[in-house]
C-alpha cells in the first residue's frame, strides 16, 4: 500500500471525512435464511456477514454448563478479503479477535436463561479495510437481536486512531497502517445510554489525555452506529408485521 505524504490535510482525512466522522454504514437484517438470526453489514469498504445459531443444546455434553449458555464466536476472513491473499483457516489474529469479541458478548447476552445450551456466533469478513473486528461486532449484535436472544443491551463497536498527531474516528486502512495508534472499542448501550465498555484493545501509544479524548470520540461514534442498528432492526420487524 502506498504511503500518503500526509494523512490529515486542512482538517480533512484522505477520504474527505472530518476527524469525527464515521464511514458510511449499511445494515441488512435477516440476510441468511438458514440462520436463526443474521446480518450483512458494510462499514466503509468492510463487508461482513454475521450468523447466529441457538440457543440449542450443547454437544458434546462435556462442554455444557448447567448454570448458563456457552457462547462461541468465530471470526473468519475470506482469503479474497484482503489485498494479499490470506491463507484460509484460523491464525493467531483471528483466534485473538474471536476471543475478545466472545468475551464482550458474554457481558451482554443473558446466558443464565439458557443452561446447558450453546449460542454460536459466526462472522465472516468478505472484504476488509481496517476495523473489520468492529464491523463484525456490530453485525453480530444485530444478528443476535434478529435471533431473539435476550441481551442487556446492544453491543456497538468502533475504533479511534491517532494519525499525524490527532485523533480520528473509525480509521480506514491507510490510517490504520500508517497511523501512530489504534484503539478498538465496544460499548454496551441500553436505552440510549452507554452503560459500559465491553472491549478495549490498544495498538501503539497514546497519552492518558489522548485516551480520555479517544473514549469520548468513540462514544459519539458508537451512539451514531447504535441508532443505525436500531433503525435496521425496527425496519425489519415493521416489514414483517406488514407482511403478516
Ligand atoms: N489485513 C490484511 N491481512 C491480514 C490481516 C489484516 O490485509 O491477514 C488488513 C485488513 O484490511 C484489516 C486491516 O489489515 O482490516 C487491519 O487489521 P487489524 O488486525 O488491525 O484488524 P481490524 O482493524 O480489521 O479489526
The predicted structure's pLDDT at residue 2: 79
* Residues 198-214 pLDDT 10s: 999 999 999 999 999 99
| Residue identifier of the C-alpha nearest atom 20 of ligand 1 | 130
Q: What's the residue count for the chain?
A: 244
Q: Which three cell numbers stand for residue 98?
A: 474471536
The string of DSSP codes covering 149-211 is --BSSEEEEEEEEEETTEEEES--HHHHHHSSEEEEEEEEEETTEEEEEEEE--EE---HHHH
Is 78 inside any structural domain? Answer: yes
For ligand 1, the distance from its centroid to the CA atom of residue 214, given in whole angstroms, is: 20
Is 146 inside any structural domain? Answer: yes
Cβ neighbours of residue 243 closer than 8 Å, sequence gap 6 or more: none
| pLDDT at residue 244 is higher than 80 | no
Is 168 inside any structural domain? Answer: yes
| pLDDT at residue 34 is higher than 80 | yes
**pLDDT confidence bin for 165, thresholds 50/70/90:** very high
The predicted structure's pLDDT at residue 54: 95
Measured from the CB, is residue 83 less than 6 Å from ligand 1? yes
For ligand 1, the distance from its centroid to the CA atom of residue 142, given in whole angstroms, is: 22
The structural domain count of the chain equals: 1
Distance CA 67, CA 9 (A): 55
Is 187 inside any structural domain? Answer: yes
Is 1 inside any structural domain? Answer: no
- Between 103 and 4, the more confident residue is 103
Is 3 inside any structural domain? Answer: no
Domain boundaries, position 58: 8-242
Quick one: which of 157, 126, 121 has its CA closest to 48?
A: 126
Measured from the CB, is residue 176 less than 6 Å from ligand 1? yes
Average pLDDT over residues 68-78: 98
For ligand 1, the distance from its centroid to the CA atom of residue 237, given in whole angstroms, is: 33
Give me the CATH number covering residue 47.
3.30.230.70
Measured from the CB, is residue 223 less than 6 Å from ligand 1? no
| Residue identifier of the C-alpha nearest atom 14 of ligand 1 | 130
* Residues 103-153 pLDDT 10s: 999 999 999 999 999 999 999 999 999 999 999 999 999 999 999 999 999
The predicted structure's pLDDT at residue 147: 98
Is 2 inside any structural domain? Answer: no
| Residue identifier of the C-alpha nearest atom 8 of ligand 1 | 86
For ligand 1, the distance from its centroid to the CA atom of residue 88, given in whole angstroms, is: 14
The predicted structure's pLDDT at residue 191: 86
| Residue identifier of the C-alpha nearest atom 15 of ligand 1 | 130
Measured from the CB, is residue 173 less than 6 Å from ligand 1? yes
Measured from the CB, is residue 131 less than 6 Å from ligand 1? yes
The predicted structure's pLDDT at residue 188: 98
For ligand 1, the distance from its centroid to the CA atom of residue 132, given in whole angstroms, is: 7
| pLDDT at residue 179 is higher than 80 | yes
Measured from the CB, is residue 130 less than 6 Å from ligand 1? yes
Is 20 inside any structural domain? Answer: yes
The pTM of the full predicted model, rounded to 2 decimals, is: 0.98
The predicted structure's pLDDT at residue 240: 87
The predicted structure's pLDDT at residue 205: 94
Amino acid at each position: 500500500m502506498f504511503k500518503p505524504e500526509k494523512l490529515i490535510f486542512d482538517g480533512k482525512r484522505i477520504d474527505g471525512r472530518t476527524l469525527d466522522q464515521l464511514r458510511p454504514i449499511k445494515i441488512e437484517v435477516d440476510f441468511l435464511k438458514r440462520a436463526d438470526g443474521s446480518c450483512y453489514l458494510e462499514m466503509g469498504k468492510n463487508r461482513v456477514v454475521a450468523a447466529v445459531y441457538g440457543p440449542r443444546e450443547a454437544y458434546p455434553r462435556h462442554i455444557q454448563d448447567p448454570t448458563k449458555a456457552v457462547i462461541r464466536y468465530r471470526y473468519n476472513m475470506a482469503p479474497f478479503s484482503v489485498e494479499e491473499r490470506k491463507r484460509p483457516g484460523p491464525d493467531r489474529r483471528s483466534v485473538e479477535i474471536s476471543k475478545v469479541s466472545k468475551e464482550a458478548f458474554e457481558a451482554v447476552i443473558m446466558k443464565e436463561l439458557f443452561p446447558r445450551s450453546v449460542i454460536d456466533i459466526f462472522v465472516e469478513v468478505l472484504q476488509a479495510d481496517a476495523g473489520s473486528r468492529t464491523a463484525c461486532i456490530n453485525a453480530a449484535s444485530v444478528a443476535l437481536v434478529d435471533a431473539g436472544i435476550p441481551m442487556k443491551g446492544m453491543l456497538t463497536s468502533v475504533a479511534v486512531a491517532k494519525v499525524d498527531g490527532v485523533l480520528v474516528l473509525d480509521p480506514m486502512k491507510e490510517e490504520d497502517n500508517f497511523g501512530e495508534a489504534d484503539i478498538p472499542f465496544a460499548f454496551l448501550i441500553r436505552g440510549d445510554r452507554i452503560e459500559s465498555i465491553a472491549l478495549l484493545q490498544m495498538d501503539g501509544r497514546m497519552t492518558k489525555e489522548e485516551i480520555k479524548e479517544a473514549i469520548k470520540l468513540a462514544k459519539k461514534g458508537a451512539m451514531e452506529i447504535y441508532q443505525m442498528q436500531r433503525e435496521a432492526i425496527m425496519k425489519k420487524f415493521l416489514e414483517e408485521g406488514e407482511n403478516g
